[in-house]
Homo-oligomer: A and B are copies of this chain.
């Protein structure tokens, strides 16, 4: 796949980071804080400090998030997150994406897929967001995909053993959470989603972008 810098379209699919943004299950501990460390009343420069949980907003999970002794951000190969990708429309799904829904789509080995759901349209991000269930994760593992992105703040809920995360992360499938896909049509794009290189962290924020 080729990109022509002069003719490409750049599409931001990240969540803006603000105090009032939707956060996972509405938990206060996941709300970011932006503090002013200095401004023009106290000095000659304006500087802010950010305090943020690494699962707030658009971010990548590494396996340490769920698996003791797992991988962290600094060992992520960038070729896994700067890659062609397929946006797949699941906006007809009412609760969760399972093996059956995925089988009806054209998913191939090595794909990075982005799941577009009602999460991008409806006010359900902090509550009953659409998720990928264990059977769906098992199917993606069998298909040996490269990565999966979701417009939910978590790729799963209501599975207490984190079965979806375990299936994907134990197979080194990238999980990219917190995308905004409302204006994105189903189809092929180039994904740019390299996280901030926070050494030792189980996750890190990403400015995720599509090139078309």
Which residues of B lie under 8 Å from residue A6 when comparing CB positions? Answer: 1
What is the 8 Å Cβ interface bit string for chain A, positions 1-42, against chain B (1 contact, 0 not)?
111111000101011111000000000010010100100100
Select from chain B the residue with minimum beta-carbon distance to A9.
Answer: B79
Report the interface size class on chain A.
35 or more
- Decide: B207 and A18 in contact? CB cutoff 8 A: no
Of the listed residues A4, A15, A200, A203, the one surrounded by the most CB atoms of chain B closer than 10 A to its CB is A200
Select from chain B the residue with minimum beta-carbon distance to A198.
Answer: B17
Of the listed residues A48, A83, A190, the one surrounded by the most CB atoms of chain B closer than 10 A to its CB is A48
Which residues of B lie under 8 Å from residue A40 when comparing CB positions? Answer: 68
Give me the interface of A with B, judged by CB distance under 8 Å: 1-6, 10, 12, 14-18, 29, 32, 34, 37, 40, 44-55, 57, 64-66, 68, 70, 74, 78-79, 82-84, 160-162, 190, 192, 194-203, 205-207, 209, 211
* 5 tightest A-B CB contacts, nearest first: A3-B3, A194-B207, A51-B51, A18-B199, A1-B5
Which residues of B lie under 8 Å from residue A15 when comparing CB positions? Answer: 197
Q: How far is the CA of A53 from the CA of B37 in the complex (A)?
A: 8
Shortest CB distance A38–B (Å): 9
- Decide: B48 and A37 in contact? CB cutoff 8 A: no
Of the listed residues A10, A15, A29, the one surrounded by the most CB atoms of chain B closer than 10 A to its CB is A10
Which residues of B lie under 8 Å from residue A161 when comparing CB positions? Answer: 44
Of the listed residues A6, A44, A162, A194, the one surrounded by the most CB atoms of chain B closer than 10 A to its CB is A194
Shortest CB distance A72–B (Å): 10
- Decide: B209 and A195 in contact? CB cutoff 8 A: no
Shortest CB distance A123–B (Å): 19
Shortest CB distance A161–B (Å): 8
